[in-house]
Structure 1
Amino acid sequence: MIGLPLLRPALKWTSSGALLTLIAIGGVVTIGLVLASAIWASRESDLAALDRQRELSNTRLSTQIERVAHELDLMAEGYASSISTVDETNVSPQDGKGFSHLIKSIFGYDQVFVIDGDGKLALETDAEIASRYDWAKPLLLPLLTRLRQQDEPLPVVELMRLEGRPSIAGIKAITLGSQPVAPTNRLYLIAYRYIDGPALDAFSREQGLNGARFARAADPDIEEVTFEIRATSTGEPIGFIIWTPDLPGSRVVSRLLPALAASALIIASLLAMLMLLLKKSMSELTDSEQKARRQSLHDALTDLPNRILFGRRLTDCLEDQRLNVTRSVVALIDLDKFKAVNDTFGHGAGDELLTAVADHIRALLGPNDTLARLGGDEFALLLPDRAKTDRSHLELFQRIITSLNAPFPLLDGKVTATIGCSIGATSLTSARQTTSEVLHLADIALYEAKSTGRNRCVEYSARLDSSAQMRAELKSELQTLLSTGGTDPQSEFGLEVFFQTIHCTAPGHAVSGAEALVRWRHETHGLLTPDKFITLAEDSGMIHELGMVVLERACAAATGWDSTQFVSVNVSPLQLRRPDYVDAVVKVLEQTGLAAERLELELTETALLDADEAVVSDTLARLRNAGIKIALDDFGTGYSSLSHLVRFGIDRIKIDRSFVKLLGSRADGAAVVSAIVALSHSLNLSTTAEGVETEGQRDFLVAAGCNDLQGFLLSKPVPNPDMGVVDEAATDLRSSGLSIA
């Protein structure tokens, strides 16, 4: 046992030696990778350079062939014009004497012949030239054969070996006069040029081929490369161009070697320094591990426990349930309107808001309570060791809601954000529960709090299970119903579209349009209003199908109304995100025959906040370009309403019923409504007041200059509304764009 105290240092030094070994191996591997990368890069660069030089060589040969063809045309025409007296049927072989010498001196060809249709020399020449022609004749006459086989009198030019040297040879028919001549009576010009010697020197200078030379066999030195020249007709090798290539990659590597050696020395020096600093590094490493362990269990932004640590503490509370003395409460807190702050003021403001929310809630908690951030704008709260009869947690939740309703100054007080929160809570009732089960129950309660108005707390009860089950059943039934177009083919149950008429404020209050409101006539639950199933459709991705069913039926019904009356249909924010939404709406208008200017799509400010601004702007612009009107519903209850009016090109604003309800009961209600109407007039927008239930409200709105009225005083939502007859005077005023007071 005496040696045990010495064991820990020994282990530390052993691990340190292993660490140094790993670092040394890492350094060697790094240098090896750098060197291998440099060699690989240099080889790739060299290969690319070689490919480019070979490609240039091939291009040069092709260019030379084209040049010979062009020069043959010129030489043939020159020969034809040099003959002073031409008998188109019998050409004298003495015509054009000295032409061969002239061509060779001007165009630089090694030999030029003029032959007849039988392949014999047509010009008198000396014995040496005749002998050279006789030697080359078997190789040149196939050119004459291929020339005669052509439909057009184009030169035939090929690469071949002549007199043991690579050459470019070509033949061209000489046209004398305008009368057709038999092939056997025609004259032909043959010329060839060697591509080694002076031609190769010029080629080497132009293409940058260092020390280029010609060889019959591929016998390059170690540092040389070859380019094979093949005969055009047979494809057989006729020689090789050999040169010393320019290899830029190899030059770079040679220059990098000193730097790599210096890097190796530096790494070795660093390893020696690490040996001296190892003891200090070990203690710093221990501190770093502790810090990393804390960071792995805490949220980096708010420094609150994260999901992992919250789960551990919740597990501990579940184990304590076996004592059955106290209970614990778990709550999920979801911020309302957080996305609006993030989108409007930026992520910096959103992060600042999350930190402030964490501070507000933490200030209300006890020392044993745990507040955690699960992600995004969702927080979790664990309240342990609560008496079974203690209900103080509900008071705590209410204080949290009240605290988060207060304005939050952000960005050094430049902006102020007002949000809220929804809370779902549950109590730990059994040690047999799992953390996921507990969080699921709290999530059910949170869903209920959000779906029933937000900014409130709901505690889980068995009743919510039945609500959750009902939602699941309704979701399944709605999916089946939408697959049949919204109608149950075996019964009278299904989706129905009710209409609430909208009346103009002119005397008589004639009907100017109607808003389409969907209902679900359910076999078990009766007539369901949208609040019972719209959220289900949005959560399950069925909202587009549901919205299109309502749109189709509303447009079809409106075709039977007066042509001056419009129909208004609500739009979900999820629909606006679809790239095909505009096309789908236009298709419905085409199928039903409803004019685009008679359709008004209503969207809430929430829809604008929940969707990408660029996508919404593009979608609304395309809808308005198609002639469709856009209305902003529940105006004044959302976030940054004025900016929405300017950015998204709204045609109509609908004054929320909460403001209309204040008319006659509070003076500030009249001020708010008057301000909204005045704003709409200044922006040349139409206004519709919702929730008109009393004659006093109606009379005030008429006097204020509102364009249209909607509410139970005038009509309730019904399946087949009485659209009446539109007052002509009111129609004339509305069509002129003026408000009717």
Structure 2
Amino acid sequence: MLSNSYNQLLVLCSFLVAILASYTALDMAGRVAAATGNAKRWWLAGGAFAMGLGIWSMHFIGMLAFSLPIPLGYDPLITFASLLAAIGASVFALWLVCQPTLPWQRLTLGALLMGSGIAAMHYTGMAAMRMLPGIRYDPLLFTLSIIIAVAASGAALWIAFRLRSGSPHLMLARCTAAVIMGGAIVGMHYTGMAASQFPLGSFCGAANSGIATNWLALLVIVVTLAVLAIALIVSVLDNRMAAHTAVLAESLAEANHELMHLALHDNLTKLPNRLLLEDRLAQAIQKAERDRGRFALIFMDLDGFKAVNDAYGHHIGDGLLIDVADRIRRCVRAQDTIARLGGDEFVLMLELAGPEGAASVAEALVDAIDQPFNVHRHLLSVSASVGIALYPDDGRDQRELMANADAAMYHAKDSGRNGYCFFEASMNANAQSQLQLMHDLRLALGRKELELHYQPKFDAVSGRVIGAEALLRWRHPKHGLISPDAFLGHAERSGLVLQIGDWVLDEACRQMRAWHDRGHVDWSIAVNLSAVQFAHASLPATVEATLLRHALAPSRLTLEITETTAMRDAEASLVILRQLAAAGVNISIDDFGTGYSSLLYLKRLPANELKIDRGFVNELAHDSDDAAIVSAIVALGQTLNLNIVAEGVETAAQQDFLTRLGCDSLQGFLLGRPVPADDFPCAAAEEVIR
């Protein structure tokens, strides 16, 4: 037999190429498994070519490392056929490991087919030398090489299948597996080479007509490494792009989730909004119908929130709403739904066995909201009006339940606020009436249905008219003349009170200008300010503009605010009142004695006048306590150099008592009722003056 030898450098190169080819195969398996559609087919074709070329190159470099004492060469067609066998085996391997499962039966069959393909590649490559006489093979080593090929193929398929997707240490695992697989492939090759025997006198038929070996090894190594490197680079870039795409997809999913959350939740309180409430309400109705269950729909509105919002600004109002939402959460269970419909309206949906549970929750809500709130160092007080509708007793669909809960809430407001009411059928008519009244009120200004009546004010000593108080009336086309008590509460809740208040101020100043032009230049006009109007930042500018528009001296206008309004936020009130006083406007503290004034703040208020509440005047003849209170108020006013006005004078005894006490001016039905401007007693006043 001819003796043979190996080029150790090429043997090492073949081992390194085997490792690199194995790593490429593992990486390609991951790319093919992750791809879909056309991309999957392209990765399968490109991966199989790179993998097949790598395995074939390892075998071919190993053969080039082999030398005999005779010239050697390789038939191009047969050599190309061995390359096709390697690529074919690689296509099958990649396809197999990218299947969803790899049971042991399929793994065994795949190992046999792939091992046979690799063995076919090797021994086809050996046949490319066209040795004469033919190569003899040691049966034991030949069989062993086939077994190694099959075993190596099985191990490679199993490892590639397990490592085709991500793992905590994927790179290290693939490198380790590549070394093992490369070693197995090299072992199969050199076992097959060891099985080859070349008889003495043999010669290579492809030595002169085949491919020369002097430069072929270098070319094969360079081309193979380039192909494998390109495949790996493309794979890495694609992997990074896939990772970037995955990050973008995750970010998009998070953004969609956030958008969905924003679409279904109130941005301020993070509670469900109307859209999500309607969905949950529909589900609750379906569940209750199916299980014959019951639930309560609770409608809650804050009393006094608009005044807080107007007085302190939206920043404080928003903080108050957030605190209110937190208190509501503490009053209900986790499975109950709380929603904010907008503004200061909240809705709760509670599963319950009977109305007692709803009443208990409503009572807890009212008590919780009634406690003072500390918002950005402002101590704020609001209350809650709560309406309750029960399913199925008070409605069988969303619209009916919401409308009835809302009607019950308005009934709670009309009943004194800071409480709760269950819906009753009679409330529907009242709720409809209130909604119609609100609608009509919005149109009243444009239709010029609002008007002022004027109650004369008299000098207590001389009895002459010194001015008038402007009192608002609404001449409704159907209901006739309506007093402000019936509609101002609605105006405050709807925000119309500012527009109405500006109209009242303008109309009163216009009328006083007309009376001045008729000669009553010493008269003054008194206008009542609502709490919302008084707290609005534009009030001083509005007053100055109105006086300027009607050429009315500021001293001829008296603005009346209630004691409660002035003391609600004494420091803020001081700022506004000082601005008005600086403009020359008179300030009157109305309903004095009914609130909770601090004498310290009263002393600091730039007021010109105290107005004794009619409640004290009514009982002067029968109640010594009221007489003592009135005497104390008059004495206090005189000490602070304030004018004292008593309203509600209805008897001569009251007039005489108040005059003797030292009141400066009087109002009341005894002296003059509120009348339209055309009916104001100007002629009588002129006679008194003359």
Which TM-score band (shorter chain)? 0.3 to 0.5
Larger relative contact order (CA 8 Å, sep ≥ 6)? 2
TM-score where L is the length of structure 2: 0.48
TM-score where L is the length of structure 1: 0.45
- For the pair shown, the structure with the greater C-alpha radius of gyration is 2
